[in-house]
Amino acid sequence: MISVIRLVLAIALAALALDAFAAPLIQTQSGALSGSSEEHVFAFKGIPYASPPVGALRWRPPVAPLAWQGVRDATKFGASCEQPRRNSTAVIPWTEEYLADPPFSEDCLFLNVWTPALHPARKLPVVVWIHGGGFAEGSGEVPVYRGAHLAQKGIVVVTVNYRLGLFGFLASPLLDAEQGGSGEYGMMDQVAALQWVKANIASFGGDPAQVTIEGQSAGAISVHHLLAAPSAEGLFARAIAESNSWADTKLAPREKAEAIGEKVASLSGATTLDALRALPADQLLAWQTDSRLGEHVRFLPVDDGKFIPDGAKERSNVPVLLGSNHDEASAFSPDWQISTIQAYQQLLDQRFAPLSARFAALYPAQDEAAVPATVRQLLADSATAGVIAWSEARDPQAAPAYGYRYTHPEPGPLAARFATFHSSEVPYVFGTLQYGHRPFTASDRAISHLLQDYWANFIRTGNPNGPGVMKWPALDSDNFMLLGDKQMVTPLLSKDQRAAFHDWLAAGGRIGLF
């Protein structure tokens, strides 16, 4: 009889344990949250880190979230920030696992947390993911950013939404007069999210003193801006910037950005801030892509002299891991399709005059059969040259940096066309291959484990090295890690190639990913 009672009690306790894991409760400064279990970790989704930036709060710095009564359901993602609607067939090679899902709303300042433990005493390292998308699209809920698998490595993973496009980066003389600067609302959102993490992450088992910021593409540009922003100082200890060249971190000129803002007001007929803030979101979204604003207009972080003061430099006491993919330009640049010697020469003249002959000698194409590979190598090296330029501009006594080039193509019918395309490393880093409809193999999973090991080591310690992985030396011109089907430490660029890119930049030239 006693054994039966013990068995019943054991079953009941097991059921209670399962229930507790399935519906974990957490207390934040704003109120209690009820989460869920996901791949053997705890998940809390759709957590507001700021008040909805709507109505009178549109185009204002983020405001602390309102407290709530009772327990808030944190089992579903919050809305993605307003952005153009896209589908996977229109944005090859990105398929649905790379795209934000509806609903979309201005009420979108949410973050998501995955954690292996909830006790504050655990003090686990934390990574805050800042998504890419050209500052115009994306979301913290994108499938390849799901943090459960990375959290299994003893890391608290946070993904963040921030205001995008015209909603996040509108500059205007009217806003300047009101606030002393404008055009950086999306970046202010990122700082607010980091402040929320600092104040609340201990309740999720995380250590607020061991936060790494990580971003890809526009997210990587954000990482560089946060390294320079006084308002972000003390909010993170390490930084990872994927697929971003130092040359791409320049802020949009204030006068140019404000001229675009004035056009928005003129075209919409809204001549006051109250009128602009009263416009429906869908109308503003339409103005964002209206050709009357100008050709190739984009809403980007603005040099307002406030978020990043004039002359501010990136803090040098933060270890940084950064690099690029070999074929970043494959989905963006028409140069990727160059196949004739004549077109290649035109590319050199357009990009590198008056040094085009020097680059032609360093990247020779003896016949047209050699042109495509030569062009692609030049584009890949341009991105790497940006990393080298960033490294050379740092204080010699700066914290260590680690550079890489990623070379493994995602498999499938588009691999030959797009190869290691922009953002293709992301599902490997997050361990989210299962969300992709591609013929992944054991080789893909092994590369994913390798990247996760390096990234997790860096998130824990500021150094990617650890047991079971090849030694990754700190960055200099000769110490890039090649990550992919082959793994090795290599200079990537010859001495003469580095010198040519250096001279090109010194002469006022520009290099970048694409």
pLDDT computed for residue 245 by the predictor: 63
Q: Known catalytic residue: 149? A: no
Instruction: Between 173 and 312, name the one with better pLDDT.
Output: 173
pLDDT band at 1 (very low <50, low <70, confident <90, very high): very low
- What percent of the chain clears pLDDT 90, i.e. is strictly above it? 83
Q: Is the pLDDT of residue 367 over 60?
A: yes
pLDDT value for 390: 92
Long-range contact pairs involving 349-353 (C-beta distance under 8 Å, separation at least 24): 352/504, 352/509
Q: What is the CATH class of 34-85+105-293?
A: alpha beta
Please answer whether residues 133 and 82 qualify as being in contact, where contact means their C-beta atoms are separated by less than 8 angstroms.
no
Instruction: Please tell me the predicted confidence (pLDDT) of residue 247.
Output: 61
Contact 150, 431 (CB under 8 A): yes
Q: What phi and psi values does residue 319 have, to the nearest 5 degrees?
A: -60, 140
Residue of 149, 326, 408, 422 marked active site: 422
Which residue has better confidence, 15 or 288? 288
3-state secondary structure of 285: helix
DSSP state at residue 68: -
**CA 171 to CA 256: how far, in whole Å?**
9
pLDDT (tens digit, 9 = 90+) per residue, 158-195? 999 999 999 999 999 999 999 999 999 999 999 999 99
Q: When comparing pLDDT for 13 and 422, which is higher? A: 422
Res 15: pLDDT: 40
Active site residue 382: no
In this structure, of 38-52, 76-90, 324-338, 455-469, the range with the lowest mean pLDDT score is 76-90
Which residues make up the CATH 3.40.50.1820 domain(s) of the chain? 34-85+105-293, 324-507
Of 262, 286, 302, the residue nearest 135 (C-alpha): 302
Dist CA 148 CA 498 (whole Å):
40
Of the candidates 82, 141, 242, 328, the residue annotated as catalytic is 328
Given a contact cutoff of 8 angstroms between Cβ atoms, the answer to whether 265 and 174 are in contact is: yes
Q: Are 168 and 80 in contact (CB under 8 A)?
A: no
Q: How far is it, in rounded angstroms, from Cα 31 to Cα 74?
A: 11
Closest CA to 50 of 61, 35, 37: 61
In single-letter form, the type of residue at position 443 comes to S
* Residue 328: φ, ψ to 5°: -50, -40
152: alpha, beta or left, given left = phi > 0 and alpha = psi -120 to 50?
alpha
Task: Write the burial class of residue 47 (CB in 10 Å: 0-12 exposed, 13-18 middle, 19+ buried).
Answer: buried
For residues 110-140, b (16+ Cβ closer than 10 Å) or e, as one string? Answer: bbbbbbbbbeeebbbbbbbbbbbbebbbbbb
Is 119 annotated in the active site?
A: no
217-229 confidence digits (pLDDT tens): 999 999 999 999 9
Amino acid making up residue 115: T
pLDDT score of 14 more than 70:
no
- CA nearest 54: which of 82, 83, 73? 82
| pLDDT above 60: residue 20 | no
**Residue 5: pLDDT band by 50, 70, 90 thresholds?**
very low
Please give the CATH superfamily to which domain 324-507 belongs: Alpha/Beta hydrolase fold, catalytic domain (3.40.50.1820)
- Six-digit token string for 33: 């949250």
The pLDDT of residue 473 is above 70? yes
* Residue of 80, 217, 330, 423 marked catalytic: 217
Residue scoring higher pLDDT (467 or 9): 467
Residue 377's pLDDT band (cuts 50, 70, 90) = very high
**Contact criterion met (CB below 8 Å) for 109 and 49:** yes
